[in-house]
Chain A
Amino acid sequence: MSTQLNSKIPAGPLGDKWSSYKEDVKLVNPNNKRKFKVIVVGTGLAGASAAATLAELGYQVDAFTFHDSPRRAHSIAAQGGINAAKNYQGDGDSVHRLFHDTIKGGDFRAREANVHRLAEVSVNIIDQMVAQGVPFAREYGGLLDNRSFGGAQVSRTFYARGQTGQQLLLGAYQQLARQVGLGGVRLFNRSELVDVVTVEGRAAGIVVRDLITGEVTSHAAHAVVLATGGYGNAFFLSTNAMSCNVTAAWRAHRKGAYFANPCYTQIHPTCIPQSDEFQSKLTLMSESLRNDGRVWVPKNQDEKRSAADIPEEDRDYYLERLYPSYGNLAPRDISSRAAKRAVDKGLGVGPLKNGVYLDFADAIARLGKDVVKERYGNLFDMYERIAGENPYDMPMRMYPASHYTMGGLWVDYELMTSIPGLYAAGEANFSDHGANRLGASALMQGLADGYFVLPYTIGNYLAPMLNKAIPSVDHPEFKAAELAARERFTGYLNIGGTRSPDWFHREVGKIIWDYCGMERTEQGLEKALSELPALYDEFKKDLRVTGNGESLNQTLEKAGRVDDFFQLGMLMCRDALERQESCGGHFRAEYQTEEGEALRDDDKFCHVAAWEWSGDPMTAKRNIEELEFENVHLATRSYK
């Protein structure tokens, strides 16, 4: 029997749910807020905005980041923009339309109520960020400019050159810094979460490892927020930053938090293809490039001419051909699979024939080089630095890469995990993007969770706990978690094998990419599920970590993260195997239409799979939260 999951969605019509929730929510008196302590782990958009806002409200906040500064969080690398239903362009946008696009983009696998709330608060985010001084792009008249993004037929994306994530993160970081300066937030940098602690079934705090000294310490609070990002680095090669990892979410999972839909991973269509075996990561080129760039491959597998010499009739602009109404702006999952099909057919371009062209020749002819430079200059420069080719003269070469993970910790409407008092925000939770995230929606969700959702919902949890003491860090649960963490890290050092953590990461990533990447099959997943445990056993016997545990040791940090990727990888494959349908980023080759599009099975799989830890990811228990669609019709997604 599976456990019943209560998503706590408020009653009433969809558009009133969030406002009626806010009207009924329990409040904490301003003078009492200081009696509560909240731990926020992660300082990206969701974490920094939550920590800053909670401190502003008067709660005591302890914020943790493994970076040297909160400003380094990977939100900073988002390029293209942030969606909001402002309808500043008068092109027919509305909260309902953003809601509908997001549900449809997510292939009808997200919760209606959460997504509608996201669309509602999207407008507040833009107001808030402008008030903080985020220098969004503007028209000559001084009003805000917008551009369009994949999966939408309106221009609702706000942007700051190709560095929107940077500017939004710095905005949130500055609000956090203000609170640190005022004493509202205590900041712990270079401190990595190594365990989550529960006492009497509630979140009581965390155990962290000081990366500089190796010291393991406990921190207690009334509530804990994990805003620790996604797990795209499970694939080894991804567009995530090098230190992005699943450890915080995974350690919470092992303490009882359900992990939802781990097989929902997003493969971004426009990344610079791998160039050699040393490659440590892949670099994304913003989806906004598809506003003006045209995607094509040669029609002939044996094409030897350079791109500019290939005449129109020998080119296949496959996105425009297959999806005429969205064309080059087809959603990410669809564009990625189309690129994969082209390359698999031997039509790939570049020295390794592992890419497709993204061509700006027409845009330059139509708009002039200056306009193209104004819009995408920094992206073109970045491409040239990495690929060594000038995209003004030669089309960019692109190939899909792991980029974002829609799956994550299961949360209810209040963003609380299945552990009372433990919250998950931003990419770390599973809630808003279903099986596929639309471009420019990650920034929106991170900030929505941190600025506009958690500050309300945490109060609702804390209010009844007034004058309840913060759990003691001497509690046996904390001591046991500290001991286990110390033993785990000493254990890695003592294996004394022959392979580095990076070697294992590359190998485990390859298995996950090959069998649980852009296309999955029953046979492949079963193969992965036999190879992963075997490789994990080898990891436990043959890992080599040099150096010691008492000073900064990046090899040791990496060992802990790779360990958790192994376990997560097994759960990803199990989730992908059990979900016998194709939806969004989860494409099972057995379930496709005649035209090769994803074929959902709404009768059997219109639900969230929330996995429960059982001591081993291979035997984790699959719980179900049924998804109910009252406001949109379940339809076959079409972008034709």
Chain B
Amino acid sequence: MSNHLKDIILKIWRQNGPKDTGHFETYKVDEISDEASFLEMLDYLNEQLITDGKEAIVFDHDCREGICGTCSLMINGQAHGPERSTATCQLHMRKFSSGAEIVIEPWRAAAFPIIKDLMVDRSAFDRIIESGGFITSVTGGAPDANLIPIPKPVADSAMDSAECIGCGACVAACPNGAANLFTSAKIAHLNLLPQGQAERYKRAESMIEKMDEYFGSCTNHGECEAACPKEISIDVIALANADYRKAKLKNRKFISRI
């Protein structure tokens, strides 16, 4: 049976818009079931705020199944909170106890400007994908799907990287605000597969250079892997770096031939 937590103190970042300076506000949730999810606790708080005539706290969320990557909160200084390999929306109040004091902030990164309260703008991620995070394949022209056998371990590794939900926790957790885990996960997914070979080096080069326009540099802290709700390994960063280095050499070779 569910138990009830009492007297949860929440210190929540409120910021009225991108240009507002923002501040912490303290709220109290008198009682909540431990079966409730963390975001349901915020829903409950928002209902109270609306009842009191106050503006609800803005936060990003959608599927609440840990797959869409929309939710994004720093909870007590940790991206997606205390439970490993769990997105905020899958965090439940049973991980907390009565009287807990919880600090809730938006993702903290220069490349993710705050829109309002706890909501940030992650469109820089879309720009990275647009620069090369795809395999060019015109609709209708594909050969039979079983024409290229892909060894199971290769398909599995590609899938491990492809699981990235694009939430941005890696950037938020990184002291440098780097997006290497996100970018490299996509590079690894596509560069591991036979279908991705034709654009392999161009992809690595353009995605990494686009990433550098927005994000900080990777200095191998490894915080990203620890924060990733999908447990994507930082090995993908090594793979992407290797492809980037090769891309630079190959592209010089191509230029010399022109």
Interface of A toward B, CB cutoff 8 Å:
49, 52-53, 56, 67-74, 76-77, 86, 88, 124, 126-133, 135-144, 160-161, 163, 165-167, 170, 173-175, 177-178, 180-181, 187, 189, 212, 241-243, 275-281, 283-284, 351, 381-382, 385-386, 388, 451-452, 455, 498, 500, 502-503, 544-547, 551-555
Contact = CB atoms under 8 A, between A and B. Distances in A.
A281 B44 CA distance: 13
Interface stretch (B62-70, B238-246, B249-257): B62-70
A175 B142 CA distance: 14
B129 interface: yes
Interface in B1-41: 1-2, 16-17, 32-33, 35-37, 39-41
Contact of A546 (B53, B64, B119): B53
Given A385-B90, A552-B58, A130 B142 contact: yes
B106 interface: no
Interface in B76-124: 83, 85-86, 90, 92, 94, 115-116, 119, 121-123
B159 A160 contact: yes
B207 to A, nearest CB: 11
Nearest to A213: B17
Contacts of B139: 49, 52-53, 56, 128, 175, 451-452, 455
B200 to A, nearest CB: 11
A298 B194 CA distance: 51
A181 B146 contact: no
Contacts of B233: none
Contact of A132 (B55, B58, B137, B158): B137
B186 to A, nearest CB: 8
Contacts of A547: 55-56
| Residue with the highest number of chain B CB atoms closer than 10 Å, among A212, A351, A498, A546 | A546
Contacts of A388: 35, 92, 94
A177 B130 contact: yes
A190 to B, nearest CB: 8
Given A143-B149, A174-B134, A275-B35, A124 B92 contact: no
B162 interface: yes
A161 B168 CA distance: 23
Contacts of A49: 139
Nearest to B49: A546
B94 to A, nearest CB: 6
B166 A502 contact: no
B219 interface: no
Nearest to B155: A138
B64 A181 contact: no
Interface in B170-228: 189-190, 193, 195-196
Given A72-B63, A242-B62, A386-B92, 9 more contacts: A77-B63, A129-B145, A133-B189, A177-B130, A180-B130, A181-B130, A189-B123, A276-B35, A551-B116
Nearest to A130: B145
Contacts of B16: 551
B47 A502 contact: yes
Interface residues of B, number: 85
Given A53-B139, A142-B151, A242 B193 contact: no
B92 A552 contact: no
B158 to A, nearest CB: 4
A91 to B, nearest CB: 15
Given A130-B145, A141-B149, A144-B146, A552 B126 contact: no
A60 B39 CA distance: 39
B142 A131 contact: yes
25 contacts: A72-B62, A74-B62, A77-B68, A88-B146, A124-B140, A127-B142, A128-B139, A131-B141, A135-B162, A135-B189, A138-B150, A138-B151, A138-B152, A142-B155, A178-B134, A180-B126, A243-B62, A277-B33, A280-B39, A283-B64, A351-B1, A385-B90, A452-B139, A498-B51, A546-B50
B43 interface: yes
A178 B136 contact: yes
Given A141-B149, A177-B134, A74 B68 contact: yes
B150 A142 contact: yes
A241 B64 contact: yes
Contact of A382 (B68, B90, B122): B90
Contact of A283 (B65, B115, B159): B65
Given A130-B145, A555-B56, A276 B36 contact: yes
A278 B36 contact: yes
Nearest to B41: A278
A71 B69 contact: yes
Contacts of B138: 56
B174 to A, nearest CB: 20
Given A135-B155, A135-B193, A385 B145 contact: no
